[in-house]
Structure formats: C-alpha cells, structure tokens
Chain A
Amino acid sequence: MSTPLIETRNLKKYFDTLEGKLHAVDNVSFIINKGKTLGVVGESGCGKSTLGRTVLRLLEPTDGEILFRGENILGYGTTQMRNMRKKMQIIFQDPYSSLNPRLTVSEIIAEPIKVNKTITDKIEMENKVNEIMEVVGLSSRLVNAYPHELDGGRRQRIGIARAIILEPEFIVCDEPVSALDVSIQAQILNLMMALQDEKAFSYMFITHDLSVVKHISDEILVMYIGQSIEKATSEELFKNPLHPYTQALLDAILEPNLSGRYKEKKVIKGEVTNPINPTPGCRFAPRCPFVKDACTGRDLELKEISPNHFVACTLFD
C-alpha cells in the first residue's frame, strides 16, 4: 500500500475562550489517498471548517500529526511551509468575501504565481492565467472584470482557478457550493469532478449537504461537536448508517419526491451544544435515543465494525 497523500493522527484544535477551552476538533484521524475525495459532514459547530483549516496549518493544531506523503508538516519552518503551500490549497465557501474586491479577475488568479515566483515572464503568466480561466469555464473577456460585477457562480470559478493554478495535489473545499443556487451548484460540482478526473486532485470536501457529499465523495467522515463519530465509504454510509446521529442526519434529508411526505418523522430533540470544557464521553449522548451509562465517562474511539466502516458508539462495543 503506497503512502497516503494526506494523513492526520489524533488531530486536536482547541481555542481559548473566556468561558474555557473550546474543543473545536478533538482527536480526528483520517487518510486521503491520491485522487480521492474525503467528504466531511456535520452540522454547525461540529468543527469541520476548523478541521479543514487546521490540516492546512492556517490554524495551528493544538496536538496531533499531519502527514503529507508520510512527512509530518508540523515540524516545517516558515519557508518550508510556504513551499508546502504550493501543494495544498483551499477553496472557500463565500464567493463574496473570498475574493479581494480591489483586484481584477486575472490579478486574483495570478496572485499565487506572483507570490511564489513560479513564472516570472509576464507573457507566460498571462497565458497561464488564460489557460486556467478556460479550464474552469470563465470567459476570457472577464480578465479585467472586478468580482463585484459577477455572480456567485462565476466568483466561485475564480476561487477554484486561484486554487488550482499552482497545480496542487490536495485541495480543502470548505462548503464550496453551499452559497450557490441549485443549478449553479450542479455546474460547479461537475467542474470539480471533471478537474479531479483530469488532474488527480485529492479533495477534502466539507459540507452540511448530504446529497452533495454522497455525489462527490469516495469516503465520508461524520463529525459531531468536534468528534469523529463514523467513517465509511460513501455507498456504505448511506446504505448502512450505524451511529444514531448519522441515522438522524440521513432521516432528516428531504428528498425531492413524495415518498417521505406521509411518513412519520423521527425528530431528535434538543440542540447542538458548544464544546467548551466538555466532559469525557460521547457528545451526542444528551440527545441520543439509545443512550446508556457507558456513553459518558470516557471518550470513544472509532472502531472498525465491518471492512472500512468505522463507528465510535457503545452500541457496537
């Protein structure tokens, strides 16, 4: 088995707040192989966005390891890390705040090249920008346009162009289509999948939308208040969700057809709470219909229940 492209081991990210330590990401481990997509799903406060940024060291991890092709990048100094960034990029959720309003489309896309000095010749740089614009489906007459003149879909294409121009190997996609209209979402998803087919990008696809994540991911990691609670291939997770929270999530999906209309809904009571100074144990316990004593007291680990299907739940002890 070749070295995975990205691997995290017991990754933790805590924030200091006035009320105490906020456990945004608590003990998350996963592997992403070349050309594959790991979908990370969860509701607000689960820590998926923090996870994405921590993996890229845009936020410094509190503990744990991040390995790129087997090498721990946490040991890298500033210059080495800057070099590393050419291989690991990010696409943001908000197509409005992720682009500098003062720069034109071509300037935004060219920034990574200028900053890393990978191309210094002006003509060559222009050609590269035009090439990438074509690849992402942006018309060449937009080179001198400003972001505020364009719609969400086009802006997101700019964000994608900026992320891929350095030919990275790994891209964190933080809810890249959530802010877009349904028909534009579909266009952008198609684009991202086509790019992956062509250039073998590895994606970490963060989203709260389960139908989108199923469509684009090979493997899915489900998070709840900072903890990873289930991990399986896309198909397996939807066919056979094991963790009660995963089941609740899948139950809550409203499909565009009338099959679920007259079925009784399983409503889980309560709300997602804030993980400040949490007590050891499963954080879903207060809302879980199957809660037992064993669920609190010690943190649960992901255990392999069937080939490549992991769950952290006392129901499977």
Chain B
Amino acid sequence: MMIEEKTITTANKSSTKRRGQIKSIWFRYKKNKLAMTGLILMGVLIFIAIIAPLIADYEQDAVSQNMKIRLQPPSIEHIFGTDQYGRDMFARIIFGARVSLAVGLASVVISSVLGILIGSISGYYGGMIDNILMRTMDVLLAIPSIFLAIAIVAALGPGLINLLIAMSISYTPGFSRIVRSSVLSVKNQEFIEAAIACGTKDNRIIFKHVIPNAIGPILVQVTLSIARAIIHVSSLSFLGLGVKPPMPEWGSMLAEGKPLMRDNQYLVVIPGIAIVLSVMALNLIGDGLRDALDPRLKN
C-alpha cells in the first residue's frame, strides 16, 4: 500500500487527525470482535481473581477440609460442587485464578524485562559480548522450557517463589533472541547515527532510541507467553512441583481430581475449563494485537 501511504503523508495536517501511534493501534484492535471478546474475557477473569476475598473466604471455603460435604456435585449452595476433602470448588477456582494468573503474568514480566536487557546489550554491542550472552541463551534454549523449569524447581524445591524463578529463567532466552534481532535492524537506522552524531552516550541511545523502537515484535510474544505460562504453572503443579498443597491452583486441582474422574467428572472438567478459557482469551488478545500492530498482514 505504498501509494496510499505516500499520498496521506504528503497531506497538510491541519485537521485534528493527530492520532498517536497507540491510539491508532487501539482503534484497529477495537474493531476486531474476537480480539475484544478475548480482552473482555480476560478482564472478567482478572476481576474475579482480584475480588476473590470478597466473594468467598479463603480459610473456610477453599482450604479447610469438611468431610461431611465431600464430593457434592454442583448445586445452588456450591455452584461448582465440593472436592474429596469437602472444599468448595468455586472458592478454590477463584483463589486458584490468583495463583495461575499472578505467577503466569509475573514470570513473563520478569523474563521479558531480562530478555530486553540482554537482547539489547547483545544486539547493540555485538562482538564478544553478543557471543557470550547469546551462547548462554542458546544453552538454556536447547532445553525445552518445561523441562528446564522442572529441573530448576527440582533443585530449589517446590513453592511459589521457586516456581516463579524457574519459569522466569526458562522464558528469558526466547525474549532475548527476539529483542536482539529487532535491535539489530533498529541499530542501522539513520536516527541512531543522528544520535551518535550529537554526542549521545551509549546508555541513552539504548534506552531512549533503540529499545522503544525494538520492543514492538515482543508485545505479541508477551501476550502469548502468558498463556503458555499459565499452562506451565498448571503442568508443574499437576506434577507436584508447583504450589504446595493445600494452596488451590488449577493444575493441582486437576491432579487431585484425576483419580476420581470416572464418577466425579466436574472435579476435572471445571479446572480444565478455567485453564482453557484463560489461555484462549490470551491467545485471542495476542492475535488481535498482532493484527492491530500490522494491519497489512490481515489482507
């Protein structure tokens, strides 16, 4: 669409069409119905996770065992039923949401920040620094992230913080690679040369000029990674390497429900749907973001 873009940019912009880039992206995102569905769904999930303590009581409903009401199928009192220890499934789901979403989000935030730093320094300076950093990243990348996480958790012991550390380390190499290649192409643009010509110091060039222009490609990857992280949290907890019981978490709920799956399907189906919904929402957001960032790809 070179022709169209050229005619618009030669125009005299006296009109109020002064949209910042972010507004244009939001404008395009809003029009994508699926993307908006994802965004709304995610919004609802996050909202419920935040107000969880207002809806149910952690100690009473989600954690303490009450064998008298065990294995009750969904009813008006317990809308998702109770598990084999008499704990309210609904309460466990919404408190579990906190763990899954928080750990998922936090691990991606940490690893993307680390990835941006490593990728930028690697890409901008090149040479020996690039070699050392990227080969280290390669070693980590050679191991599938789930196994890497398992290995680290196995070494550090189960628990929320260790889970967070393990996942952050396993996602960093992927981000650093993406950022590095983005930085490589930004670095050759003339405005970087212009900054050097003014006498700008390296750290300002990297933080003010390079990084803001290089993180575009990572945005979509971040959203999709959160989806992957939620599945990883669940998987690790399912394997017993995640949160310690009785802390509710969707994956460990799957593990606990598995032996009783034949007669009490809801024990497994409900946490399963929760995982599917959040992952689907994030994927829709990620796709919508990608299309909004580069509308040419859609046509």
The answer, yes or no, to whether A85 is at the interface (CB within 8 Å) is yes
Could you say which of A99, A115, A146, A151 contacts B198, with CB atoms under 8 Å apart?
A115
Please, how many angstroms separate the alpha-carbon atoms of A111 and B194 in the complex?
A: 10
The answer, yes or no, to whether A121 is at the interface (CB within 8 Å) is no
Near B by CB (< 8 A), chain A positions 132-162 give: 144-146, 148-152, 159, 162
The answer, yes or no, to whether A122 is at the interface (CB within 8 Å) is no
Name the prevailing secondary structure of the B interface residues: helix
Whether the Cβ atoms of A92 and B199 lie closer than 8 Å is: no
Given the known inter-chain contacts A89-B197, A115-B198, please indicate yes or no for A149 contacting B190, CB distance below 8 A: no
The answer, yes or no, to whether A98 is at the interface (CB within 8 Å) is yes
Within the complex, the shortest CB–CB distance from A55 to chain B, in Å, comes to: 12
Could you say which of A82, A101, A149 contacts B213, with CB atoms under 8 Å apart?
A101
Whether the Cβ atoms of B10 and A98 lie closer than 8 Å is: no
The answer, yes or no, to whether A83 is at the interface (CB within 8 Å) is yes
Within the complex, the shortest CB–CB distance from A108 to chain B, in Å, comes to: 8
Near A by CB (< 8 A), chain B positions 2-38 give: 9-11, 13, 17-18, 20-21
Interface centre among B10, B11, B201 (most CB of A within 10 A): B10
Interface centre among B13, B190, B198, B204 (most CB of A within 10 A): B198
Residues of the B chain whose Cβ atoms lie less than 8 Å from the Cβ of A151: 9-11
Residues of the B chain whose Cβ atoms lie less than 8 Å from the Cβ of A162: 194, 198
Could you say which of A82, A99, A150, A152 contacts B199, with CB atoms under 8 Å apart?
A82
Whether the Cβ atoms of A100 and B197 lie closer than 8 Å is: no
Whether the Cβ atoms of A116 and B198 lie closer than 8 Å is: yes
Near A by CB (< 8 A), chain B positions 177-217 give: 189-191, 193-201, 204, 209, 212-213
Chain B contact residue count (CB 8 A cutoff): 24
Within the complex, the shortest CB–CB distance from B245 to chain A, in Å, comes to: 48
Within the complex, the shortest CB–CB distance from B195 to chain A, in Å, comes to: 7
Size class of the contact patch on chain A? 20 to 34
Residues of the A chain whose Cβ atoms lie less than 8 Å from the Cβ of B213: 100-102
Whether the Cβ atoms of B9 and A92 lie closer than 8 Å is: no
Name the prevailing secondary structure of the A interface residues: loop
Please, how many angstroms separate the alpha-carbon atoms of A152 and B189 in the complex?
A: 17
Residues of the A chain whose Cβ atoms lie less than 8 Å from the Cβ of B199: 81-83, 85-86, 112, 115-116
The answer, yes or no, to whether A306 is at the interface (CB within 8 Å) is no
Please, how many angstroms separate the alpha-carbon atoms of A81 and B200 in the complex?
A: 11
Residues of the B chain whose Cβ atoms lie less than 8 Å from the Cβ of A146: 20-21
Residues of the B chain whose Cβ atoms lie less than 8 Å from the Cβ of A40: none
Within the complex, the shortest CB–CB distance from B172 to chain A, in Å, comes to: 25
Whether the Cβ atoms of A85 and B193 lie closer than 8 Å is: no
Near B by CB (< 8 A), chain A positions 82-104 give: 82-83, 85-86, 89-90, 92, 94, 97-102
Whether the Cβ atoms of A97 and B9 lie closer than 8 Å is: no
Please, how many angstroms separate the alpha-carbon atoms of A149 and B200 in the complex?
A: 26
Given the known inter-chain contacts A82-B199, A102-B213, A150-B9, please indicate yes or no for A90 contacting B18, CB distance below 8 A: no
Within the complex, the shortest CB–CB distance from A291 to chain B, in Å, comes to: 38
Whether the Cβ atoms of B200 and A98 lie closer than 8 Å is: no
Please, how many angstroms separate the alpha-carbon atoms of A155 and B10 in the complex?
A: 11
Residues of the B chain whose Cβ atoms lie less than 8 Å from the Cβ of A148: 9, 21
B-contact bits for A67-90, CB 8 A (1 contact / 0 none): 000000000000001110110011
Within the complex, the shortest CB–CB distance from A171 to chain B, in Å, comes to: 10
Output the nearest chain B residue to A116 by Cβ-Cβ distance. B199
Whether the Cβ atoms of A90 and B194 lie closer than 8 Å is: yes
Within the complex, the shortest CB–CB distance from A69 to chain B, in Å, comes to: 18
Whether the Cβ atoms of B197 and A90 lie closer than 8 Å is: yes
Please, how many angstroms separate the alpha-carbon atoms of A71 and B10 in the complex?
A: 44
Please, how many angstroms separate the alpha-carbon atoms of A47 and B195 in the complex?
A: 23
Please, how many angstroms separate the alpha-carbon atoms of A230 and B195 in the complex?
A: 33
Whether the Cβ atoms of A111 and B200 lie closer than 8 Å is: yes
The answer, yes or no, to whether A25 is at the interface (CB within 8 Å) is no
A-contact bits for B161-172, CB 8 A (1 contact / 0 none): 000000000000
Residues of the B chain whose Cβ atoms lie less than 8 Å from the Cβ of A82: 199, 201
The answer, yes or no, to whether A222 is at the interface (CB within 8 Å) is no
The answer, yes or no, to whether A56 is at the interface (CB within 8 Å) is yes
Output the nearest chain B residue to A144 by Cβ-Cβ distance. B18
Output the nearest chain A residue to B10 by Cβ-Cβ distance. A151
The answer, yes or no, to whether A1 is at the interface (CB within 8 Å) is no
Whether the Cβ atoms of B200 and A102 lie closer than 8 Å is: no
Please, how many angstroms separate the alpha-carbon atoms of A269 and B198 in the complex?
A: 43
A-B residue pairs in contact (CB < 8 Å), sample of 20: A85-B197, A90-B194, A92-B193, A94-B190, A97-B191, A98-B191, A99-B191, A100-B212, A100-B213, A101-B21, A101-B213, A102-B212, A102-B213, A111-B195, A112-B199, A115-B199, A115-B201, A148-B9, A149-B9, A162-B194
A58-B196, A98-B194, A99-B191 are known contacts; what are 14 more A-B pairs with Cβ within 8 Å? Answer: A53-B193, A58-B197, A82-B199, A82-B201, A86-B199, A92-B193, A98-B193, A100-B209, A115-B195, A144-B18, A149-B18, A150-B9, A151-B9, A159-B194
